[in-house]
Amino acid sequence: MKKFEKGRRINILYNDNLDSKKVFNLLKIKLNENGFLVSEDYNSQAELNICIGGDGAFLRSVHKYNFPNIPFIGVNTGHLGFYQEILPEDIDTFIEKYMKKEYFTEKIYLIESKILIDKKIIKLLGINEIVVKGTASKVVHLEIFIDNNHLEMFSGDGIIISTPMGSTAYNFSSGGSIVYPLLKALQITPLSPISSKAYRSLPNSAVIPGNMTITVKPEFKYENSILIMNDGVENRYDNITEINLTMSKKKIYKLNFDKDMYWNNLKSKFL
């Protein structure tokens, strides 16, 4: 076995609650004992980001540090823990496997939106999804195009555009399909679509190749009644004329210690 190089730096990102703090203290001691340097303040030269908390903590950390290229691994002190795969009691096993390089790095595809407001363009990146919906639970009417091909005039609460990783989040609870994370695709899922003689909207989700652009144009009288939710964070912009969404060229990276982890996670978290 190759001799371990001491002094390698690791960032530990954690929630400010009792459980996460306890895990942080334990993890820091064990990493230091194995020759790692632990940073609480984010260090851009680190080789790994360890995020302690739930899925929300993972999402917030990735956004806070601007989608870094440094890979992530999560220790779950939250509830569902779909991103956070390591249990606190398995920390020793994790460190041992990490030092032996018994893992592989997987890509997580991101969604990118370009929001056109007058002559300005606002860009947002998302890990799970970007949601276009009405403010104050208002019904919205949205023209939806796929690569400039008109798909529908959607009427209802809004739409979710999710990544494969995000397909098991808001998308799944709204009736969308589960998409395997390594597929380069986006999914459009309707939120309470209206289907009547006056309005016709697709009742089910549609999976779109990741190299295609989804364009959403709010009907003129609704352009100031649109809410953009990016991984659960609300953004309100006035005078939206168009929203273009596609799979981003930017990616983040996550360590995986078991090739079957996704399917095991799926079964244990949802069935």
Helix (H, G, I), strand (E, B) or coil at 261: helix
Residue with tokens 């959403």: 216
126 annotated ligand binder: no
- Taking the C-alpha atoms of residue 134 and residue 140, their distance in angstroms, rounded to an integer, is 6
Report the pLDDT value the prediction gives residue 1, as an integer from 0 to 100.
36
| Residues of the chain with confidence (pLDDT) below 70 | 1-7, 80, 221-224, 271
CA nearest to 52, candidates 100, 29, 85: 85
Active site residue 238: no
Report the pLDDT value the prediction gives residue 4, as an integer from 0 to 100.
42
- Taking the C-alpha atoms of residue 41 and residue 13, their distance in angstroms, rounded to an integer, is 8
246 annotated ligand binder: no
Sequence-separated (6 or more) residues with CB below 8 Å from residue 119 = none
- Catalogue all structural domains in the chain, each as residue range(s) with its CATH number: 9-102 (3.40.50.10330), 110-249 (2.60.200.30)
| Residues 26-65 pLDDT 10s | 999 999 999 999 988 899 999 999 999 988 999 999 999 9
**Which of the following is catalytic: 16, 19, 41, 55?**
55
Asked if 82 and 168 touch (Cβ cutoff 8 Å), the reply is: yes
Give the tokens for residue 122: 């606002």
238 annotated ligand binder: no
Asked if 72 and 62 touch (Cβ cutoff 8 Å), the reply is: yes
169 annotated ligand binder: yes
Q: Is the pTM of this model over 0.85?
A: yes
